Amino acid sequence: MPPASRLSVRLEKHVKEGAAFSKTSSKRGDPIKQSENIIGSGSKSGKTFFPRKTKPKVLWVSPYVPVQGLHAGGHRMFRLIQRLKRDFSISIVSLNAPPLNEEQNKQAAKTLQDMGVECNLVPFDSSFKPHLKDPLPQAFKSLQSNRMSLLLNKLLSPGNFDLLQLEYSASGQWIRSLPRVPVALTLHQLEYLASFRAAMASAKFSARLLGILDTLKALSAEKQSMLKADVLISPTPSEARLCRLISGKPAVVAPMAADPVQSERGKRDFDIVFHGNFSHPANQDAAKILLDQVLPAVRLQRPGTSMGLLGTFMGQALKKKAYHAGISPLGRVSDLHGMLLKARIFVAPLFLGGGMRGKILDALSAGLPVVTTPLGAEGISDQSTTSSKTGTNFDTPVLVVKDKEQFAQKILCLLDDPAILGRLSKEARSLAGHFRWDKTARVYSAMYLGLLKQNY
C-alpha cells in the first residue's frame, strides 16, 4: 500500500475514534461538572477565593474580532464575553483580519468598547504565499503575525493579567515563550481534521496528496499550540477526546448555543433553507451540493419546491449558481431568525470542516427540523432523547443521513407529511433549549476559577 494510502487509513481510524466517543458522551454528565472535576473549581460556599475586590483580569486573544451575527466563531465569542464580563475584566487583542474588512472590524471593536470591554486591533499583513516546503499548514501560515507576537510578549509581563484565553489553534503560534499565567485554548475546530476531510474530497490525486501533507503539518502545529495551554476547550465531545489523545492535556466541552426565538412561525416562503458564512469552505461546499444535486432531485418529485439561500460573504460564483437554479440568493439578512421562521426544513449537507455547527442550533431554535450529515449533527444529536442512529427514522428533529442521495428522500418525506413536520417542529425548539449561552459561559467561568485557584 502506498505511504499516502496508509496515512489515509490511519487518519480515518483517528476520526472514527473521536466519533465513537461522541456516542457515549451523554453518559459523562454535565460539562460544567466535567470542567470542575478536571481542573477544580472555586469555593464550594459560592464565595470567590480571591482576597482582592477587583475582578480577575483575562487577556482574550483571537485572530478574529468577536462580532454578533456575521460568522459562528465571532458570534460565539461575542455571546460568551457578554456574560463573562460580569465576573471577569476582559481585554481583547485581535488581528484586523478577514472575513470582516477593516471598517467592519473597527465597528465591531467599538461595539465591544461600548460594552465596557477593551478591544485592540493589530494591523494584519495579508501577503500570505503558500509554499510546499513551509513547515506551517495553510490555516496557521495565513495568520502569521510578528506584530501580534511582540505585543503579546509585552502584555504578558508579570502583573498585567491573571489568565490568557486563546481562541483558535492558530493563535498558539503567537506565544513565543510560555507565560506565567494559566492558559486556556479554545479549538473551534480541529484544523488537521478539516484539512484531512478537504483532502479526501479532492478529485485530483495531486490535490489530495498536497492536502494530506497539509494535514500532517496541521496536526504537528496544533499539537504545539495545545502543549502551550493548561486546559483545552472543544465544542464537541468527540473533538475534546481527540485533543486529549493528541496532547495529553485536560479538555472540557463547551458547546455552541442558540439564541432563543420567541416568535411563532407564520407564512412559509421557503420549503427548504440553508444559511452560513460563505467564506468558510464547508459552507460553500454544502451550498453547491444543495444547488447541484439535492434541489434538482427534490424538484423531480415536487417541481414547485422553493429554497432560501442566505448568509454572509456570499461570492459572485455562488450567487450565479443560485440564479441558474432559479433561486434568488438573499445574502446577509438583518433578521436571520425571522427568515428561518418562514421556512419548513433546514437542510445542511455538511461534509467538510469540523467543530459544532451554530447554524443547526439556529434552525432548531426557530422550530425547523434539520436534515444533515453525521458531521453536521456533531455534538447536537447526543442531546436528543434518541440516539443519532434513530435520527434517520423521524424520531428526532435532527435527521442524519450519510449519503448525498438520501437528502432528497428525507426532504420529500417531510414535505409530504405535515403531521410529522409539525411534531418535529415542536421537538426542534425543545432540543435547542439544551444549548444556551448562559450554560456554556458557566463552563468557562468554572474553568477559569479552577485555573486561577491552582495558580493563586
Give, for all 456 residues of the chain, the pLDDT tens digit: 554 445 444 444 544 544 443 344 334 445 555 555 555 544 433 444 455 568 999 999 999 999 988 888 999 999 999 999 999 999 999 999 888 888 989 999 999 999 999 999 999 876 666 666 788 998 999 899 999 999 999 999 988 999 999 999 999 999 988 888 999 999 999 999 999 999 999 889 999 999 999 999 999 999 999 999 999 999 999 999 999 999 999 999 999 998 888 776 666 788 999 998 898 899 999 999 999 999 999 999 999 899 999 988 888 889 888 888 888 788 888 788 888 888 999 999 999 988 888 899 999 999 999 999 999 999 886 554 433 343 446 788 999 998 888 999 999 999 999 999 989 999 999 999 999 999 999 999 999 999 998 876
pLDDT of residue 14: 45
Residues 274 and 415 in one domain: yes
Residues 159 and 219 in one domain: yes
Phi/psi for 400 (5° steps) reads -100, 125
Residues 20 and 105 in one domain: yes
Q: Which helix (H) or strand (E) holds 37?
A: helix 31-39
Cα 282–chain centre separation: 11
Burial 329-344 (b: 16+ CB within 10 A, else e): bbeebeebbebbbebb
Max alpha carbon distance in the chain (Å)?
Answer: 69
What's the rounded Cα separation, in Å, for the pair 271 and 412?
Answer: 10
Residues β-bridged to residue 122: 95
Phi/psi for 40 (5° steps) reads 85, 175
What's the rounded Cα separation, in Å, for the pair 313 and 346?
Answer: 20
What's the rounded Cα separation, in Å, for the pair 365 and 345?
Answer: 12
Whether omega before 182 lies within 30 degrees of 0, making that bond cis, reads: no
Strands 163-167 and 118-122: unpaired
The half-sphere exposure of 189 on its side-chain side, counting CA atoms within 13 A, is: 23
pLDDT of residue 327: 84
Residues 217 and 158 in one domain: yes
Residues 279 and 218 in one domain: no
Residues 237 and 344 in one domain: no
C-alpha grid cell, residue 32: 460544567
Handedness of CA 337, 343, 344, 349 (dihedral sign): negative
Residues 253 and 307 in one domain: no
What's the rounded Cα separation, in Å, for the pair 329 and 197?
Answer: 27
pLDDT of residue 3: 45
What's the rounded Cα separation, in Å, for the pair 215 and 421?
Answer: 40
Q: Is residue 99 part of a domain?
A: yes
Closest CA to 197 of 12, 356, 51: 12
Q: Is residue 21 part of a domain?
A: yes
Residues 69 and 85 in one domain: yes
Q: Is residue 263 part of a domain?
A: no
Q: Is residue 392 part of a domain?
A: yes
Q: How many domains does the chain have?
A: 2
Structural domain of residue 330, as residue ranges? 270-432
pLDDT of residue 329: 81
Q: Is residue 280 part of a domain?
A: yes
Residue 94 sits in a domain whose CATH number is 3.40.50.2000
The alpha helices in 392-435, defined as continuous H runs, are 405-416, 418-432
Q: Is residue 174 part of a domain?
A: yes
Q: Is residue 264 part of a domain?
A: no
Residues 359 and 445 in one domain: no
Residues 216 and 149 in one domain: yes
Cα 203–chain centre separation: 26
Residues 321 and 244 in one domain: no
Residues 142 and 196 in one domain: yes
pLDDT of residue 129: 65
